[in-house]
Structure 1
Amino acid sequence: MYDASRTLAVLSEPAEAIEDPYIGRPPEAVWPLEETGEDRQIAADPAMPLESRLQAYENIFESEVGDTSLSRARNLERELGLRQLYLKFEGGNPTGTQKDRIAFVQAMDALRRRYEVITLATCGNYGVAMALAASLAGLRCRIYLPDAYHAPRRDEILARGAELVRVAGDYEQAVLASRRAAELEELYDANPGGANTVIQLRAYGQIAYEIYDELRDAPAVVAAPVSNGTTLAGIHWGFASLYRRGKTSRIPRMVAGSSYSKNPIVQAALKGLANCRNLRPEAIHESPVNEPLINWHSSDGEQALRCIRASRGWAGDASDRRLSACSRLLRDREGLHVLPASTAGLIALADHAEPLPPDRYVV
């Protein structure tokens, strides 16, 4: 039986500092590039025909990105009082996050359109993913990093040959600088939002297809952490596609989790706002724990908010303390070492005010 008070107690225990398992490891230790073999050589060789490079790159993408594990978390079920709770572990991707999914499709699009340089702004994970994806495609990568944020994966970005440009200010100012450079220098703009929205939604839609492949139907709920909102909106896009084609009996309720009072999507959902409104930039304070989640502006916030409401889902937020406690809980009960920010969706699911009926839930 689901017990909300028990869940709150479990997720509020004092937590140890959680370290990123990828920080401090050489790129080869994270992903041995020699495994890509001949395809890697062809994809990165500008002397090869474009068709051959694209095919080789697609081979790398299909063999190394996605198809991440979905496992039932029985120990966590007992701890939280939930039934049939499944964990989708995106740490199995080459650089350890779901960002590899969009980085590789954006790099392939840039290669197809004959660009030579990709640019984007990042707080860390997307930059590492794009630096790898671009290097495998034989493309240069210029990454704009906000001075106001920590950059624990900076060395990994540089190790992949990317150019790093520091920008005074926050993430949104780094995005503006990157987009301005893309326009002036005719670089490929890989930032979220705008023309890239459809590309990235389709890429994240693959997560829904992978869940369907394992469960053979849609779960009752899918919960995910949100920052720009692209991942959540993409998963919903994938399940909506499956439902339209008669593959599933339903579309899951979508649940968004983020840092306490620091995300426009979650705040709009909690307050019942008609639109996803920007937050006050001066009210957003970054920490090593909440950095992947916080935003005063969410690029795909409207799409994410619409999918939450269309699916009768909900949203929730959590303090750094609770995010860290949940990360430790996953490590102790399920043997998964994940960053605290990755647990925001699980906390939002567990915090649901009403008892959750026996069904299948995916985080």
Structure 2
Amino acid sequence: MGPKPADPKAPGRTPGRTPDLGPATALKCRECGSTYPLDALYVCGECFGPLEVAYEFRGVSRRSIEAGPANIWRYRGLLPVPADVMTTRNTEPGWTRLIRADNLARELGMRELWIKDDSGNPTHSFKDRVVAVALAAAQELGFDVLACPSTGNLANAVASAAARAGIRSVVLIPANLEAPKIVSTAVYGGTLLAVRGDYDDVNRLASELAGEEDWAFVNVNVRPYYAEGSKTLGYEVAEQLGWRLPEQVVVPIASGSQLTKVDKAFGELTALGLVEERTVKVYGAQAAGCSPVATAFKGGHDAIRPVRPDTIAKSLAIGNPADGLYALDVCRRTGGAVESVTDEEVLDAIRLLGRTEGMFAETAGGVTVATLRKLLREGLIDPGATTVLLKTGDGLKTLDTVSSLVGPTAVIDPTLAAFRAAGL
């Protein structure tokens, strides 16, 4: 049975032509399996389940991927983007470093630990990946305004990508967001709205606007395409490990989408015969002040109870995660776990990573490192297995959280005597 026609009452736009989104063939409901045309739709009209992209992959091989550019478009044959998507521009995200973290591994008592460092993207977080895919799809669907609700990193990525594309951006953020993230969004010149409330309040407003304005809200009405950008993290990890899957991966959870898409990427690579089949244990990391998925996992529940966020890890502060149940399912199905850590543990982990590997993580990265350490302490993760940890953003984005904890070893006069007196 082919895709159902677009419901005129459903969110989204009626296309003027059939969009060219590469291997994407339809949108499919995760819950009931109903299919819809490729459009700006994100909710099933039959059961209100979330929609995701369905594909028919053709001609994808290790050789075709390796011949591609050193950015996410090397995987365009696996993404919902036009075949002629920009591949030569050097401002595109992806192909970030996978670093063997031997010093941190020794500290934690592990055999083989890798860190996927996405701070090398254009706005220094993994959000550049998802926005690049959302932008390519949105423009193919006919949109000329890129918008989003955001906890910070997405705001940076949307404003920057829209500026490079020469289109308007509209970004909504919580008014109490970290100052560096506000500045590094406003500098791109788009419309920036600070909303009094937390992220869930901002998201509700954005969802209302998506039904009124003819804008591409990357994580609302074009969310199915946007979410697929996270798959490129999984693709790159496998390729950079020499076309092999890790045995374990630790992923931060905000909405839960990134975790599910990394798992999806591993499954696609396996189905295409690009890697040897292996079950990758997936572990989710949350801050204790916003840990609805970890709470459900540890309580053995099959429902996510929303919470009011209270944590320094603002980029993970989504109290009602849209993909929380699916993230929970992935961790259970693969034999992984979901754990949460306190703000104090997060700050200590940020300094641990800096001291051992010379890498500065934002608070989300601190959550992931701290969670790995806690999982090891509780015997929930194998220290002898090949493990990849996702570092999704740069510590320069959350300077305020650590600025009171670190500083000069000493303040001295510019004399040798003063240096000696400091006892260094």
Same fold by TM-score greater than 0.5: yes
Per the TM alignment, residue 102 of structure 1 is displaced from its structure 2 partner at its CA by 0.6
Please tell me whether the aligned partners of residues 101 and 114 of structure 2 are also in contact (alpha carbons under 8 angstroms): yes
Q: In the alignment, does 2:303 pair up with 1:258? A: no
Residue 60 (structure 1) aligns with: 89
Q: CA offsets per residue over residues 332-362 of structure 1, 9 Å max, x none?
A: 1111111132132232222222262522100
Per the TM alignment, residue 201 of structure 1 is displaced from its structure 2 partner at its CA by 3.6
Q: 2:363 aligns with which of 312, 335, 340?
A: 340
Per the TM alignment, residue 190 of structure 1 is displaced from its structure 2 partner at its CA by 1.3
Please tell me whether the aligned partners of residues 57 and 136 of structure 1 are also in contact (alpha carbons under 8 angstroms): no
**CA distance, structure 2, for counterparts of residue 305 and residue 115 of structure 1:** 34
Residue 397 (structure 2) aligns with: none
Residue 237 (structure 2) aligns with: 211
**CA distance, structure 2, for counterparts of residue 206 and residue 248 of structure 1:** 18
Q: 2:300 aligns with which of 257, 260, 272?
A: 272
Q: Hey, which of these two has a bigger chunk of helix by percent?
A: 1
Residue 395 (structure 2) aligns with: none
The aligned amino acid for 2:255 is: N
The aligned amino acid for 2:127 is: K
**CA distance, structure 1, for counterparts of residue 85 and residue 336 of structure 2:** 40
Residue 169 (structure 1) aligns with: 197
Per the TM alignment, residue 55 of structure 1 is displaced from its structure 2 partner at its CA by 4.4
Please tell me whether the aligned partners of residues 175 and 191 of structure 1 are also in contact (alpha carbons under 8 angstroms): no
**Structure with more relative contact order (C-alpha pairs < 8 Å, separation 6 or more):** 1
The aligned amino acid for 1:249 is: E
SS at structure 1 position matched to 2:180? coil
Residue 141 (structure 1) aligns with: 169
Residue 226 (structure 2) aligns with: 200
Please tell me whether the aligned partners of residues 252 and 364 of structure 2 are also in contact (alpha carbons under 8 angstroms): yes
Runs of 5+ unmatched residues, structure 2:
1-81, 390-424
In the TM superposition, what are the counterparts of 1:340-359 in structure 2 within 5 Å?
340-352=363-375, 353-354=378-379, 356-359=382-385
Normalization by structure 2: what TM-score? 0.68
The aligned amino acid for 2:303 is: N
In the TM superposition, what are the counterparts of 1:301-340 in structure 2 within 5 Å?
301-340=324-363
Structure number with bigger Rg: 2
SS at structure 2 position matched to 1:123? coil
Per the TM alignment, residue 249 of structure 1 is displaced from its structure 2 partner at its CA by 2.6
Q: In the alignment, does 2:207 pair up with 1:182? A: no
In the TM superposition, what are the counterparts of 1:54-203 in structure 2 within 5 Å?
55=84, 57-60=86-89, 64-191=92-219, 196-197=223-224, 199-203=225-229
**149-158 or 308-317, larger mean C-alpha shift:** 149-158
Please tell me whether the aligned partners of residues 247 and 385 of structure 2 are also in contact (alpha carbons under 8 angstroms): yes
**CA distance, structure 2, for counterparts of residue 54 and residue 249 of structure 1:** 28
The aligned amino acid for 1:116 is: D
**CA distance, structure 2, for counterparts of residue 147 and residue 91 of structure 1:** 24
Identical aligned residues as a percent: 26
Q: CA offsets per residue over residues 119-168 of structure 1, 9 Å max, x none?
A: 21112110001111111122111011122444431122111121011222
Please tell me whether the aligned partners of residues 262 and 296 of structure 1 are also in contact (alpha carbons under 8 angstroms): yes
Across the two proteins, how many residue pairs are aligned to each other?
Answer: 303
**CA distance, structure 2, for counterparts of residue 148 and residue 244 of structure 1:** 44
Q: 1:285 aligns with which of 287, 310, 313?
A: 310
**CA distance, structure 1, for counterparts of residue 385 and residue 319 of structure 2:** 35
The aligned amino acid for 1:105 is: V
SS at structure 2 position matched to 1:316? strand
SS at structure 2 position matched to 1:268? helix
**CA distance, structure 2, for counterparts of residue 185 and residue 84 of structure 1:** 49
**95-104 or 246-255, larger mean C-alpha shift:** 246-255
Please tell me whether the aligned partners of residues 115 and 188 of structure 1 are also in contact (alpha carbons under 8 angstroms): yes
Q: CA offsets per residue over residues 184-212 of structure 1, 9 Å max, x none?
A: 121112125x6513x23421111111111
**CA distance, structure 2, for counterparts of residue 236 and residue 148 of structure 1:** 33
Per the TM alignment, residue 58 of structure 1 is displaced from its structure 2 partner at its CA by 4.4
CA RMSD of aligned residues (A): 2.0
Please tell me whether the aligned partners of residues 316 and 347 of structure 1 are also in contact (alpha carbons under 8 angstroms): no
The aligned amino acid for 1:337 is: F
Which ranges of 4 or more aligned residues in structure 1 deviate by more than 6 Å?
Answer: none
**CA distance, structure 2, for counterparts of residue 258 and residue 271 of structure 1:** 15
**CA distance, structure 2, for counterparts of residue 116 and residue 106 of structure 1:** 12
Per the TM alignment, residue 177 of structure 1 is displaced from its structure 2 partner at its CA by 1.4
Per the TM alignment, residue 56 of structure 1 is displaced from its structure 2 partner at its CA by 6.6
Per the TM alignment, residue 236 of structure 1 is displaced from its structure 2 partner at its CA by 0.6
**CA distance, structure 1, for counterparts of residue 84 and residue 136 of structure 2:** 10
The aligned amino acid for 2:327 is: A
